[in-house]
A and B are shown apart, each in its own frame.
Chain A
Amino acid sequence: DAGVTQSPTHLIKTRGQQVTLRCSPISGHKSVSWYQQVLGQGPQFIFQYYEKEERGRGNFPDRFSARQFPNYSSELNVNALLLGDSALYLCASSNGLAGGGGEQFFGPGTRLTVL
């Protein structure tokens, strides 16, 4: 079975632009979470979606938004990019009951560079 997949692998954008990152969870998993990992730090929670509904939001500005589709894949959107948004963006899927619990498995990430 395929694991969590993310696209694209790398992205280079300039300040002020907008970016969309995509994630496909493990087959059968209904929950997707997004994390931001700045170089040298641990991942920081951005969002969790379960059954197309937002179940959790981290301490990120409104420039960050996400959605989940009927097939449980997800998109993360970031508007008005800042230099500080440069990071590895990670998607994790889980099959916990009612959107909570369960082990979280991470994808390879999308590396975003903002110039």
Chain B
Amino acid sequence: QKEVEQDPGPLSVPEGAIVSLNCTYSNSAFQYFMWYRQYSRKGPELLMYTYSSGNKEDGRFTAQVDKSSKYISLFIRDSQPSDSATYLCAMRGGIKAAGNKLTFGGGTRVLVKP
């Protein structure tokens, strides 16, 4: 079983809809949680960076972390065709745990249709 599970999709939504993405994980040592957006054949772009449980909002993006359930989510409001990409969740332990190593999910491909 993988440490981080993510539905590969594709997830197809109409323009303007809310995109809902999530990841589950098994390692209780994870403390920092990230979401990256990756366009085809490009490097991942950091969208959200959160610590421990709770919610964080940045523009159209909202990240939620529920450590008790080992479950994280990303919501994209008012989706646009330019949001069509692969979304990767990533996580790591505290500073003393394995340095900077990020453990990624496999990514969810999202398609926003005009």
Contacts and interface: CB of A to CB of B under 8 A. Distances in A.
Partners in one complex: yes
A6 B96 CA distance: 28
B45 interface: yes
Contact of A98 (B32, B95, B104): B95
Contacts of B88: 42-43
A51 to B, nearest CB: 12
Size category of the A interface is: 20 to 34
A104 B95 contact: no
A97 B95 contact: yes
Nearest to A54: B99
B103 interface: yes
A35 B32 CA distance: 18
Nearest to B105: A42
Interface stretch (A12-20, A70-78, A106-114): A106-114
A96 B94 CA distance: 12
A48 interface: yes
A100 interface: yes
17 contacts: A33-B101, A33-B102, A42-B4, A42-B105, A43-B44, A43-B88, A43-B102, A45-B102, A55-B99, A56-B98, A56-B101, A88-B41, A97-B95, A99-B100, A100-B99, A100-B100, A103-B49
